[in-house]
Amino acid sequence: MNDIKEVRSAHLDDFYYKVKHQSGLTVYIYPKNKNNSTYAVFGTKYGSIDNCFKIAGEKEPHKVPDGIAHYLEHKLFESEDGDAFARYAKTGASANAYTSFYNTCYLFSCTQNVYESLEILLDFVQSPYFTKETVQKEQGIIGQEIKMYDDDPQWCVLFDLLEAMYHNHPVKNDIAGTVASIARITPELLYECYNTFYNLNNMVLCVAGNVDAEKVIAMCDKMLKPSKPIRIDRIFEEEPRHIVRARVEKKLAVASPMFNLGFKEDAGGPMAGVEKVARTDILLEALAGDFTKLYRSLLDKGLINENTFGKEYFEGPGFASVIFGGDSKDPDAAAEEIKKEIERVRREGIDAADFRMAQKSLYGHSVSALNDVGNIANSLAALSLSGRDFFGYIDAIADADIDGVNARLETQLMPEYSSLSVVKPFG
């Protein structure tokens, strides 16, 4: 039997259905019936950090090459009778996929033939087909993808920072792996990972847009092959609390320097809930939003620009950090200024007006994000695979109080756990 629940937002006139499907899959259906388009995401809790895992009941952990989750994503589009893009060509859907640190998601967007497109999505993701020849062919394509990122200064400045902060956690490894690590990938290894992580109990389907919930469920009934319950443990080497290096620098073919300033937080326990994420987001906005003293001072000194400066709470299984970044003529001076302001706020607490402006801003951005079915489906998938509630985040923003936000400074944004990564022009 399928278990269907309707979930309503406390603040908005939106709702979705959460279905625990009899196959083991969790399905979300978010109706937006004034829309022309529908967006579907079929995702698994499996990403680049899963290079070592253990299945409950087995003795030995599995160790696999870096970049294999992403490689698998590329290869799943091929099946014995042609590739998924060719099938989507007949429905007009626009399809794609992505691999993050901890999820892999397959998606399409379409304005007609919704259920036919959904059938293709559910079918190809459940039909692996890996041979020596097809696996070999992908080396050239992914090799070029890796090299494209080698020239991307924003990508480099982030991964240099992660290497400077993390001793062992695989978040520091490039999502696509390296040319050397992907050369070790075989069809057997791909099947080993596929059979573990593409278990429907480890997956989620999110459909947002102009759809009929009953028809989506009917398609699930038709297409989903029941999976046996599985428990997969992600195995990470012990990650020390301290950082690796306080500063790293690389030279690239750029016109101006850029930086990422990271603050590592202890993340050994279970992943943060929506309240903690919301409080951290408010803290960062109140500290460095465009209405703050810090932002203005950095701008007036020419240390940042509005085009590229940003801040984010970068967290996932076994890792959590805050990252500030952007282009800057003097990254060290920008980092100093940010750290100084953090210490001031730690002493004096967040200003009540800054807290309110941050809270209102983030609330507005969350509401605005609900215009877009792609955004809804992808966020639903990401939150669900992290065990978080979709409307819960908006509620947590609206309900946050200043004490809770100030309390985040007790464990986060500690100067002794910070690293600075800089990319500079050659010469």
Partner 1 sequence: MTEIQQQSVCGGVNFRSIKDSRFKTVRMSVNFMQPLSEATAAPNAVLPYLLTRTSRRYPDLTKLNGHLAELYGAQLDAYVFKLGDVQVLSIFASGIADKYSLGGEKVSEELSKLLCSVIFDPLFENGMFPKDGFEQERRQLMEKIDAEYNDKRTYAFLRCAGIMCKGEPYGIPRCGTKKDIENLRLENLNKVWSSLIHNAKAEIMVVGDCDPVPVYDEFSAAFHNLGRAEAQDYTNKVVKAAADVKNITEKQNVTQSKLVLGFRTGCAEPDVNVPAAKLMNVLFGGSPNSKLFLNVREKLSLCYYCSSLYDPLKGIIFVQSGVETKNIKSAQTEILKQLDEVKKGNFTDEELNAAKLSICNSYRTIADSPDGLEGWYLSKTFSDPAEDPEEEAEKVRAVTREEVIKAAGKMTLDTVYALEGSGAENK
- What residues numbered 361-420 form the site for partner 1, per CB under 8 A? 361-365, 367-368, 370-373, 398
Residue 204 C-beta: closest distance to partner 1, Å: 23
Please choose, from the candidates 253, 248, 256, 283, the residue with its C-alpha nearest in 3D space to the C-alpha of residue 357.
283
Residue 21 C-beta: closest distance to partner 1, Å: 27
Residue 20 C-beta: closest distance to partner 1, Å: 29
Nearer to partner 1, 59 or 307 (CB): 307
Q: How many residues bind partner 1 (CB under 8 A)?
A: 79
Nearer to partner 1, 163 or 192 (CB): 163
CB 43 within 8 A of CB 149: no
Beta strands at 104-110 and 15-20: parallel, antiparallel or unpaired: unpaired
Residue 400 C-beta: closest distance to partner 1, Å: 13
Binding mask 99-138 for partner 1 (x = CB under 8 A): ----------xxxx------------------------xx
Among the candidate windows 83-91, 195-203, 214-222, 401-409, which touches partner 1 by CB under 8 A? 83-91
Helix (H) or strand (E) holding 139: helix 132-150
Q: Binding partner 1 by CB under 8 A: which of 150, 221, 237, 401?
A: 150
Nearer to partner 1, 158 or 258 (CB): 258
Among the candidate windows 152-160, 231-239, 311-319, 404-412, which touches partner 1 by CB under 8 A? 152-160
Q: Binding partner 1 by CB under 8 A: which of 156, 277, 400, 420?
A: 156
Site for partner 1, residues 178 to 237, rule: CB under 8 A: 178
Hey, CA dihedral for 174, 178, 184, 185, is it positive or negative?
positive
Residue 341 C-beta: closest distance to partner 1, Å: 14
**Phi, then psi, of 2 in degrees rounded to 5:** -90, 140
Read out DSSP for 291-317? TSHHHHHHHHTTS--TTT-EEEEEEET
> CA 238, CA 241: separation in Å to the nearest integer?
9
CB 44 within 8 A of CB 103: yes
Q: Distance of alpha carbon 338 from its chain centroid, rounded?
A: 25
How is residue 117 written in tokens? Answer: 């497109």
CB 77 within 8 A of CB 2: no
Sheet holding 94-99, edge to edge: 3-8, 15-20, 26-31, 203-209, 38-44, 104-110, 94-99
Among the candidate windows 32-40, 225-233, 266-274, 335-343, which touches partner 1 by CB under 8 A? 32-40
The three-class DSSP label of residue 334 is: helix
CB 130 within 8 A of CB 52: no
Nearer to partner 1, 95 or 382 (CB): 95
> CA 141, CA 145: separation in Å to the nearest integer?
6
The three-class DSSP label of residue 296 is: helix
Residue 422 C-beta: closest distance to partner 1, Å: 14
Q: Binding partner 1 by CB under 8 A: which of 148, 183, 218, 246?
A: 148
CB 47 within 8 A of CB 386: no
Q: Binding partner 1 by CB under 8 A: which of 72, 258, 345, 396?
A: 258
> CA 279, CA 106: separation in Å to the nearest integer?
30
Nearer to partner 1, 86 or 218 (CB): 86
Q: Binding partner 1 by CB under 8 A: which of 57, 80, 140, 348?
A: 140
Nearer to partner 1, 59 or 144 (CB): 144
Residue 90 C-beta: closest distance to partner 1, Å: 7
* Active-site residue, selected from the candidate residues 6, 58, 73, 163: 73
User: Counting every residue, how long is the chain?
Assistant: 427
Asked about 73 being catalytic, the answer comes back as yes
Site for partner 1, residues 282 to 321, rule: CB under 8 A: 289-293, 295-296, 299-300, 302, 305-308
Binding mask 42-61 for partner 1 (x = CB under 8 A): --------------------
How is residue 239 written in tokens? Answer: 């990650």
Among the candidate windows 58-66, 148-156, 235-243, 316-324, which touches partner 1 by CB under 8 A? 148-156
- Asked whether position 245 contacts partner 1 by CB under 8 A, the answer is no
Nearer to partner 1, 35 or 201 (CB): 35
Rounded (10°) CA dihedral 307, 414, 399, 362? 0
Q: Count of CB atoms within 10 A of residue 10's CB? A: 10
Q: How many CA atoms lie within 13 A of 349 on its CB side?
A: 9
Site for partner 1, residues 344 to 363, rule: CB under 8 A: 353, 356-358, 360-363
> CA 419, CA 187: separation in Å to the nearest integer?
39
Active site residues: 73
